[in-house]
Chain A
């Protein structure tokens, strides 16, 4: 089973991915969690380039994300799935579509085609989109960063997190569009709900998916 979490920065993806992992592990599943871009040696280097490097053209940025993703699929996701493990990803293909297309204005079709090509067509079974108005995400990120600073001078916001409010709104809108486009796998959840409540919704949907998969397998 391959599950991804999507949403703009500050929407709670990382927290929910961890909560789901803990839940699945407590029921005896082997879970591999990874983040994008990253999760492989190449991916981490690309992550550094993307987050702290020079400003890039949208096309180059999209290709770099795709490269990191291709490597993650090759080295981590497919081998884990082949062993019957659960893979939980903090960001995947939809991030490219939302950020590069919605945020930076690239056309959806070529970016989608390019990404599908790079990952050999591997799509998640379920994608949880944690959706909230862009203004809220802004305050959450700001709060987190100021906490970091109080805690001991953590690094300033990176290039992607410091994008403008307008950019984040465009991304949020693109995510909603993707949820409509890929309604068979994208589950939209209100990110403003308490995190326990979100976790319960996520678990319920995962269990429903597993039951359906079990029925399909026995048929």
Chain B
């Protein structure tokens, strides 16, 4: 099973991804948790470059995220999935679709079409989209990075972008109200994951 977490900075992705990992590990499952960009030596170097680097054009940005993702798929995700492990990823392709495709106006179709071959077409079984309003997100967010910019207007645009993606891929993307307590949100996600693993 391959699940990903998406949402604007401060939505609670990292917290929820690690809580889900704990629950699944407690059940005795083999779980691999990864984050994007990162998770490989190349990915971590690109993460530094992307989050703290200079201004980068939208195409270069898309290609860098794709490079990090391709490496992650090759080095970590495919081997984990092949041995039957569950994979949880904190951000994945929908981040590119929302940030570069919609917010930076490259186009969802464009980004999807061209960035799927480098990741061998690997899409998650489910994507949990954590929805919180921009003010809540900002309050939760300690260190806004370059991608998030700590800019409320940009956060609102991203929020719209993510909702647009959820409407476009309703079978894969599950919108979750992320404004509740950490435990409530975790419980809802766990319930969804149980349904998914029963369906397998």
Interface residues of A (CB under 8 A from B): 41-42, 45, 49, 53-54, 56-57, 59-64, 66-68, 70-71, 73-75, 107, 110-111, 113-114, 117-120
Instruction: Looking at the assembled complex, report how far the CB atom of B116 sits from the nearest CB atom of chain A, in whole angstroms.
Output: 9
Partner-binding segment picked from B57-65, B155-163, B173-181: B57-65
Instruction: Looking at the assembled complex, report how far the CB atom of B135 sits from the nearest CB atom of chain A, in whole angstroms.
Output: 33
Q: Which residues in B have their C-beta under 8 angstroms from that of A74?
A: 57, 59-60
Q: Which residues in B have their C-beta under 8 angstroms from that of A42?
A: 49, 53-54, 56, 60
The one of A59, A71, A75 in contact with B118, judged by C-beta atoms closer than 8 angstroms, is A59
The one of A41, A66, A117 in contact with B54, judged by C-beta atoms closer than 8 angstroms, is A41
Q: Which residues in B have their C-beta under 8 angstroms from that of A62?
A: 70, 118
Residue B125 CB within 8 A of the other chain? no
A-B contact pairs, 25 of them (CB 8 A): A41-B54, A45-B49, A53-B45, A57-B71, A60-B68, A60-B74, A62-B70, A63-B63, A63-B70, A66-B63, A67-B60, A67-B67, A70-B63, A71-B59, A74-B59, A110-B114, A110-B117, A111-B117, A113-B113, A113-B114, A114-B114, A117-B59, A117-B110, A117-B114, A118-B60
A62 and B71 alpha carbons, distance in the complex (Å): 11
B75 pairs with A59, CB closer than 8 A: no
Given A56-B71, A62-B70, A114-B114, 7 extra CB contacts under 8 A: A54-B41, A60-B118, A61-B67, A67-B59, A68-B60, A73-B59, A113-B117
Residue B119 CB within 8 A of the other chain? yes
A61 and B64 alpha carbons, distance in the complex (Å): 10
B120 pairs with A59, CB closer than 8 A: yes
B53 pairs with A60, CB closer than 8 A: no
B74 pairs with A120, CB closer than 8 A: no
Interface residues of B (CB under 8 A from A): 41-42, 45, 49, 53-54, 56-57, 59-64, 66-68, 70-71, 73-75, 110, 113-115, 117-120
Q: Which residues in A have their C-beta under 8 angstroms from that of B60?
A: 42, 67-68, 70-71, 74, 118
Q: Which residues in B have their C-beta under 8 angstroms from that of A120?
A: 59
Count of A-B contacts with CB under 8 A?
97
Q: Which residues in B have their C-beta under 8 angstroms from that of A117?
A: 59, 110, 113-114
Q: Which residues in B have their C-beta under 8 angstroms from that of A53?
A: 41-42, 45
A56 and B68 alpha carbons, distance in the complex (Å): 10
A63 pairs with B118, CB closer than 8 A: yes
The one of A49, A71, A107, A119 in contact with B42, judged by C-beta atoms closer than 8 angstroms, is A49
Q: Which residues in A have their C-beta under 8 angstroms from that of B64?
A: 63-64, 67
Instruction: Looking at the assembled complex, report how far the CB atom of A153 sits from the nearest CB atom of chain B, in whole angstroms.
Output: 27
A120 and B114 alpha carbons, distance in the complex (Å): 12
Closest A residue, CB atoms, query B43: A60
Instruction: Looking at the assembled complex, report how far the CB atom of B91 sits from the nearest CB atom of chain A, in whole angstroms.
Output: 17
